[in-house]
Amino acid sequence: MKNKILVIEDEVKIARFIELELKYEGYEVVLVNDGRSGLEMAQEGQYDLILLDLMLPRMSGIEVCRRLRQGGNETHIIMLTAKDDVSDKVMGLDMGADDYMTKPFAIEELLARIRVALKRKEKTEKEVDGNGKIYKLKGLEVDDIKRQVTYNSDLIELTKKEYELLKYLLENKNIALDRERILEKVWGYDYYGDTNVIDVYVRYLRSKIDQQYSVELIKTVRGVGYAIYED
């Protein structure tokens, strides 16, 4: 069965080029040229991956991503942007994008990232189907079957990457994890961003859990990275 990819891109030549390359690689492709239509297609259909341009007519890629994640859509999103500004990239990741590529890009790199993303999707689905676990620490509970996080029964809303980072730290509690290892396991081996994205996401988690409930779950290990320790 072919993997189905939704491409939301308003630059006609780029969109057509991506569409032809993806079809040549054996993917089923749906092409949309504006943000609002892209959001509707993503909400109504089942896709294995979404390629989402940042600058779109009718609705920005950031807003499309935000609404999809807010609605519980967990489809892997690679954001395409002509901007090389760190704040734009961080904003896209914060809204729930899984990866980003700056235009112009080599199609070989884009195809490689798509392959990695789809492999990770298959692995995650197998793990959820066969090995769903519940992680508990102090008042925190991470239910990997429901993909739900609570603290003292209060539901905590996390983005996909925040959830995956928290889960990885809990899976390896009492171990000091360096940033390169976290980046590889949570963002993927072929992620090309800086390790400071981890610091940004740790800050997000601390604001939603540690600061909200007056606890100190995520520890900074100087010269190494981060850890969650069980008292």
Q: In the CATH scheme, what architecture does the domain 4-127 have?
A: 3-Layer(aba) Sandwich (3.40)
Give the pLDDT of residue 193: 60
Give the pLDDT of residue 36: 95
Give the pLDDT of residue 125: 56
Domain boundary assignment for the chain: 4-127, 132-228
Give the pLDDT of residue 99: 86
For the domain spanning 132-228, the CATH number is 1.10.10.10
Give the pLDDT of residue 180: 87
Which amino acid appears at position 190 of this protein? D
Note the pTM of the prediction, 2 decimals. Answer: 0.59
Residue in the block written with tokens 């308003």? 10
Give the pLDDT of residue 130: 46
Structure tokens at 24: 């040549």
Sheet bearing 99-102, strands edge to edge: 28-32, 4-8, 49-53, 76-81, 99-102
Angle (CA) 5 9 12, round 5°: 115
Contacts of 14 (CB under 8 A, 6+ apart): 103
- pLDDT per residue, tens digit, the chain (231 aa), is 789 999 999 999 999 999 999 999 999 999 999 999 999 999 888 899 999 999 999 999 999 998 988 877 889 999 998 766 667 677 777 788 888 888 888 999 999 989 988 887 666 555 544 456 888 888 899 988 888 899 988 999 988 889 999 999 998 989 999 988 898 888 875 565 666 888 889 999 999 999 999 999 999 998 889 999 886
Give the pLDDT of residue 98: 85
Q: Are 22 and 108 in contact (CB under 8 A)?
A: no
Rounded Cα gap, residues 219 and 212, in angstroms: 16
